[in-house]
Structure 1
Amino acid sequence: MGTGDPKSLIAQYQEYLEAFVLRARRVEEHSLAADWDALVELAEIQIQVTPLGNGEMLIKHQYPAEEVVESAAARLRPILLEGDACFYQKALKALGYFCRSLPQDGEWIRSARREWRTRVAPTTGEEAGYWIMVSNTATGEDHNLDRHLLTMAWIYGDVVHHDTARRQEADPFGLVDRFRAAVPLIAWAMIGTIELLNFTRVLQEAGHITLSEKVFEESVALKSTTWEEKAKVYFAPVGSEPPTAATTPFPEQWAQLDSAADVSIFRTTSGVQLLRTDDQAAEQSPSDGPEADRDAG
């Protein structure tokens, strides 16, 4: 892309923002974002300390189930990756361009950039919040790792990849410490993402940017995974030529399925029935009937 071509630059920045909006809306739909106050609380390092009366303290950490945070991390991951079109900083850069004549909005963008870098990409252990030191009394080995590196080990070693180097580096600390480090970062990254999404919506409504309305409206996450729909079903002998397109007529070998009696013959070679009627009490076992010699279309 030639940086001297304003039209190309605008098109590229619109592409970044539209990609960000789609992915950010999917993050917004995650269950962790349903309770905003709880998400904000989760973004801070929360440790409950109870004195035991003998000089010791009972320290308690309480977080959502790992698979819940894991799914949030999976939705967030492209926003964390510099190479992806929806990368958070690419969206900020694009908005900075479009808001270059809007001082107040420009300041918000610069502030968001600084906070994102500090919270999501810290460069020191101090910025990361804390670090952990462990010693192996049997081998004499000492290890220390900051919270950010433990977080990256959980995301890229335990969850979305199997990064061997990250896993080896963080292995002495165990899965618990990797997960505990990751939760506040994942929660804060969700907050930052949703806030930038809302800022983008405001700019769109004000006419400062003109993104495709489709990216604000199209479905980005399933609300339900149970559906009922009326349809016509066709079948043919195995090996029959399929239709060439969705709107072309079925070849002559194909017949319409139109009765419960027809439904009962749809079985695979392993005995699994492909179709059944609502009034069937139970599926037949593989020995209850002949294997199907026809396939559903």
Structure 2
Amino acid sequence: MEERIALSRTTKKTRALSDDEIMGRFVVRARRVESNSLVKSGAIKCYATPKMTLSVNEASGASIRYHVCADEESIESLATRLRPFIVKSEPIYLPKVLDAISAQTSSESLSENEAEILKATKSWFSQRYEEKNSERYGIQLVGKDGESLTGLLSDALLAEAWIYTDTVHADPEGEKAEAQKLSYSNRYRAASSYWCEFAIVIVNLLSLVRSLSERGLLKVPDSSWSEPVSYAEAEKYEQEQIIAGSAYVFPPGTVIPEGVNPEDIPGARKVTPEVMIRLQHPEGAAW
């Protein structure tokens, strides 16, 4: 007797986000890009344009010096923070953000500069991400006999291959696998400039959204502008909450009943600077 087992696959359905919600999530994640050290220092403007210096002298021959960000971890952090804007399944996939902005604002309400920012953002995404053009430069690997070992790989493709196969995943396919034929140095050099270039695009768009929101032309949840996007901000926020209210410490193992004021619990001590010092240096504390 043949037995057949029917397997049912459930599909997770997610609620479609409103334009307001999309903009709120964009603001939070774009502020996280804005808080990256390379952005805060202005270094992205320095590294966004690929540069190399060719030196030739009789003693040592020719040498090439590439102008890249030596702080690889900062580029990795920046690229990771930017990645949700290029993942189609993400609610802040850049075309979705641009559609949300267009749905809430009219072209007549935008200044000439604001309209140019939107146009430049759409153009950048189309050409530099979707088409991955070699507007900046491209590299092709050629064998000793002049045969082509790879096609012409744009810096945009190499940069995406770096974040995908060298940083996040380990399963290169298609063009990303082709990029693995080049050296790690080639992929990282492309990443250094490309992700800085993309960061400028996102920061400029955030500035536009901030301006439109302040003028009441774009709906963005207020909490999106104040929500902590880094540990430093989160820690500062928590300290401000303690100052505004009160904090208590209790002996280990204390069970805190519901509805009971903290100061009424046996052994409770209100947190003061003196108490914090004693907690940090218990060996010299006298209670």
Decide: shared fold, TM above 0.5: yes
Higher relative contact order (CA 8 A, sep 6+): 2
Contact kept? 2:132, 2:154, Cα under 8 Å: no
Other-structure match for 2:3:
none
Other-structure match for 1:42:
47
Match of 1:205 among 195, 209, 214: 214
1:172 aligned counterpart, secondary structure = coil
1:143 aligned counterpart, secondary structure = coil
2:253 aligned counterpart, secondary structure = strand
Instruction: Please give the per-residue CA displacement for 1:183-241, whole angstroms capped at 9, x wherever unaligned.
Output: 1110011111111001001101111112211111121112279898864134339xxxx
Matched, 1:160 2:168: yes
Instruction: Please give the per-residue CA displacement for 1:247-285, whole angstroms capped at 9, x wherever unaligned.
Output: 466xxxx98598xxxxxxxxxxxxxxxxx852549xxxx
Other-structure match for 2:96:
90
After the TM superposition, which residues 139-154 of structure 1 pair with which residues of structure 2 at under 5 Å, given as runs?
Answer: 142-144=149-151, 145-154=153-162
Match of 2:35 among 5, 29, 32: 29
Other-structure match for 1:70:
76
Contact kept? 1:116, 1:192, Cα under 8 Å: no
Long gaps (5+) in structure 2: 1-14, 270-278
Other-structure match for 2:281:
278
More helix by share: 2
Specify whether residues 164 and 119 from structure 1 end up closer, same or farther in structure 2 by C-alpha distance, changes over 3 A only: closer
How far off is 1:35 after superposition? 2.3
Contact kept? 1:135, 1:143, Cα under 8 Å: yes
1:57 aligned counterpart, secondary structure = strand
Instruction: Please give the per-residue CA displacement for 1:53-86, whole angstroms capped at 9, x wherever unaligned.
Output: 4895321113231111001111111122222112
Contact kept? 1:96, 1:106, Cα under 8 Å: no
Other-structure match for 1:218:
227
Contact kept? 1:13, 1:94, Cα under 8 Å: yes
Other-structure match for 1:111:
120
Specify whether residues 120 and 54 from structure 1 end up closer, same or farther in structure 2 by C-alpha distance, changes over 3 A only: farther
2:55 aligned counterpart, secondary structure = strand
1:52 partner letter:
N
Match of 1:57 among 53, 58, 62: 62
2:168 partner letter:
V
Specify whether residues 117 and 232 from structure 1 end up closer, same or farther in structure 2 by C-alpha distance, changes over 3 A only: same
Contact kept? 1:154, 1:179, Cα under 8 Å: yes
Contact kept? 2:140, 2:148, Cα under 8 Å: no
Q: Distance in 2 between matches of 1:101 and 1:164?
A: 42
Q: Distance in 2 between matches of 1:226 and 1:123?
A: 40
The number of aligned residues is 244
How far off is 1:48 after superposition? 2.0
Q: Distance in 2 between matches of 1:208 and 1:277?
A: 50
How far off is 1:157 after superposition? 0.7
TM-score, length of structure 2 as denominator length: 0.71
2:169 aligned counterpart, secondary structure = coil
- Identity of counterpart residues, as a percentage? 24
How far off is 1:98 after superposition? 1.9
TM-score, length of structure 1 as denominator length: 0.69
2:231 aligned counterpart, secondary structure = coil
2:166 partner letter:
D
RMSD: 3.5
2:183 aligned counterpart, secondary structure = helix
Q: Distance in 1 between matches of 2:121 and 2:72?
A: 28
Other-structure match for 1:177:
186
Q: Distance in 1 between matches of 2:162 and 2:89?
A: 20
Contact kept? 2:179, 2:187, Cα under 8 Å: yes
Other-structure match for 2:252:
235
